[in-house]
Structure 1
Amino acid sequence: MILAGGGHGHINILKKLIKSPMKDIDITLITDFGKQYYSGMLSGFIEGIYSEEEISFDVRELSKKANVNYVEEKIISIDKNKKIVTTDKNEYGYDFLSINLGSIANVNFHVDGSGVLNVKPISELVAAKENFIKQGFKDSRKRVYFIGGGASGVELAFSFKEAFKNFDITIITSGEILDNFNESSRKKVRKLLNKKNINLVEGSFVTEIKNHTIITENGNFDFDYVFLTSGFKGVDVKYIDFDVDKRNYVTVDERLMVDESTFSMGDSANIKRYPKLPKAGVFAIREAPILLENLMSALKNTGDKKAYAPQLKYLQILNCGGKKAIMNYGNLSYYGKLSWWLKDRIDRKYMKV
């Protein structure tokens, strides 16, 4: 069996295998990222609350403990019919396959020039923060923009403002900010952005970035650095004989299955029954136990598979900096230290092996 990628779902499998080893099953995990970062704690890392070790799993070490072969190579293509995973160095045949490769930034406008940074893969964002510190930006005045008004862009704007207080930070979004939060939470966020001197530009489509200038339909903005958080797509892997959507996500049924021997979940997958399901960690974490159970069922040939049904309401906790956060659930909204405490507790529990 091959585990393609080291995402949340496969980390969950490694944790399970450490506690309950499987005999007579040869399992290989292939990834080009030796560290798997937990996105839920990323903003806390940027702010300086968590260390890099606290927000990441050592995939090699977990694989070793789980008695799983670890291969650090970049996957180039996967052939479903031939059952071959091709990397930049080798080919690997398999009987069973699980795909959990994550996502990358989806940029639908022209980008030319330096100072443009991606937030996916997360390793690039971690490197950007370290680079800012090395260059002595703690007390510098830099014009930093976040393109995209979803939870990722907003959290990062808050956390970079905490870490680099002199940064002149602006969020640009084509629609309204946090369109999947309730109105009460959005009002709180707008008030906090204003209080923390973070600029917000809504309803402004970016058409091009060049020569350190963001060009929009409503005007231009000069920058030192810009982070792209406006959306994501599947990684640049060639899926041969797979059904993939326009963003290169692998199509699966509600059992997270492509066919009887192939699985996918999280940011790598498009669940046919729920095509508009957001690519959010809250869903991936709920999918992971389903993937594990169904994969084990396939390996043991026991037949029955569980179906994943996304929750209609789900708790969202938005880190707003300074160990305060906004809890958003249905029409309920609460801002304060209690929200942060709950988020911190949930996140730390997830990171335990």
Structure 2
Amino acid sequence: MKKLVLIGGGHSHAIALKKWGMNPLSEVELTLITNVVKTPYSGMLPGYIAGFYSFDQCHIDLPSLAKYSHAKIYIDQAIGLDLEKNLVICKNNSPIPFDLLSIDIGSTPTVLSIPGAIEHTIAVKPISKLLQYWHQLIEEIQQNPQQKIRLAIVGGGAGGVELAFNIHSHLTQIYQQANQPLNQLELHLIHSGKRLLSERHPSLSRKVENLLKKLKIHLHFNETVDQVDETQNSIKKISCKSGLTLECDRIFWVTQASASPWLKQAGLTTDKRGFILVNDNLQSVSHPQVFAAGDIATMVNYPRPKAGVFAVRQGQPLLENLKRSLEEKPLKPFIPQKEFLILIGTGDQKAIASKAWFNIGPNSLLWRWKDYIDQKFMKQFKN
């Protein structure tokens, strides 16, 4: 009996588990190790922040999915690997043996190098922790809507921009319902580049910047945060290299992604940021018994941004190569698309569509299209 172990319940693994359940291999014992019971779908997270979706609408129930795929499940955190003995080292359980291993644990924003960032900011990943903080914040504002709130978002990529739109949408709605002035909310977006969404076409950057300015969101460009402190009355103070300082009640950290350090420490070959280097078959370049997909993997020949669209597309080819490896068949290469469409929700049930130099919106038709795509993706895990 061969042992296939999956670490993490990311998008690629969720798809692989579903499809394995539909067509399993005999004589293979499947195990899932995950530190969360419900895994969020990143495409619907901004809509959840805005209040458009319930928790269950945008979360995949991993125990149910494991049951469907006849997988053992350990609710535990992987903290290391023994690649000589093929063991997964867990925080709470005994080491778990494997013949074949797949890793899909996502990424976290880079905060380690900034003094005070870990202690005094809210990282957007892991998403489960972000949502705990978000629920607390909503509760505080609902209980005391007369009190002014100052928030900052560090990072002006797609994640930071969408978070700004949707935080603004939900909180202004709360103030309106409480008959409070909208200037109760002060929202800052801090970005180290000279324009937002710097990986996309400049025309999209201009459009998004104009929309955020209309909402009176304060934009700070070419600003690198080098320290975060907390005052005696729990106010957070952001200090930038330029000399800019900002005082806020909460800071959301949405900067460039980084990887868990235990992967490199285990001996896997990684890129400069610690992500597992994989070949065209989504297989570790240093350890053929290890596969990786989603944000945690960097394809040597096809490096791509850390975006959910790639994790979703990798689910099927990952499963196929895991099965082929177990059956000792030749593996099949996967080539990700170069240009990809993004749909940015603007917090008002409208969206902007962007691909290469082309962008359109925001309008409600694009939001309905985005909503349809997201709901369709989640529907496959609901029954």
TM-score w.r.t. length of structure 2: 0.88
Instruction: Work out whether residues 102 and 235 of structure 1, in 8 Å CA contact, stay in contact via their aligned partners in 2.
Output: no
Counterpart contact for 1:325–1:340, Cα < 8 Å: yes
State the distance in 2 between where 1:114 and 1:79 align.
31
Structure 1-normalised TM-score?
Answer: 0.95
Give the Cα separation in 2 of the matches to 1:115 and 1:44. 25
1:96 and 2:100 aligned: yes
Of 161, 181, 186, the residue aligned with 1:168 is 186
Distance 2:79 2:216 in 1: 44
Single out whichever of 241-250 and 215-224 deviates more from structure 2. Answer: 241-250
Greater displacement, 202-211 / 130-139 = 130-139
Q: By how many angstroms is 1:287 displaced?
A: 1.6
- Give the structure 2 partner of residue 134 of structure 1: 139
Question: Are positions 1:250 and 2:255 aligned together?
Answer: no
Q: Write out aligned runs for 1:1-353 (5 A).
A: 1-89=4-92, 90-107=94-111, 108-111=113-116, 115-137=120-142, 139=145, 140-165=147-172, 166-175=184-193, 176-211=195-230, 212-218=236-242, 219-238=244-263, 239-258=265-284, 259-275=287-303, 277-303=304-330, 305-335=331-361, 336-353=363-380
1:236 positional shift: 4.2
Aligned CA-pair RMSD: 1.6
The CA deviation at 1:112 is 5.9
- Tell me the secondary structure at the aligned position of residue 302 of structure 1: coil
Contact in 2 for aligned 1:2/1:98 (Cα 8 Å): yes
CA offset at residue 196 of structure 1?
Answer: 1.1
1:295-323 C-alpha deviation (Å, 9 max, x unpaired): 111112222x2222221211011111110
Q: Is the 8 A contact 1:100 1:267 kept in 2?
A: yes
**Displacement after TM superposition at 1:192 (Å):** 0.7
- Matches of 1:226 and 1:2 in 2, distance apart? 36
Q: Tell me how many residue pairs correspond in the alignment.
A: 351
1:285 shift after superposition: 1.3
Give the C-alpha shift of residue 155 in structure 1.
0.3
Structure 1 segments unaligned to the other structure (5+ residues):
none
Over 3 Å counting, the alpha-carbon distance change for 1:45 and 1:146 in structure 2 is same
Output the amino acid matched with 2:56: E
Q: In percent, how many aligned pairs have the same letter?
A: 33
Paired with 1:308 and 1:324, the residues of 2 have a C-alpha distance of: 33
C-alpha displacement at 1:338, in angstroms?
1.6
8 Å CA contact retained: 2:83, 2:266 = yes
Separation in 2, partners of 1:286, 1:164: 34
Residue pair 2:258, 2:274 contacting (<8 A) in 1 also: yes
Give the Å deviation of 1:21. 3.0
Judged with a 3 Å threshold, the aligned counterparts in structure 2 of structure 1 residues 112 and 153 are, in CA distance, closer, same or farther, namely closer
Cα distance in 1 between the residues matched to 2:141 and 2:120: 16
- Amino acid aligned to 1:38: Y
* Aligned-partner Cα distance in 2 for 1:65–1:72: 17
Unaligned stretches of 5+ residues in structure 2? 173-183, 231-235
Change (3 A) 1:31 1:327: same
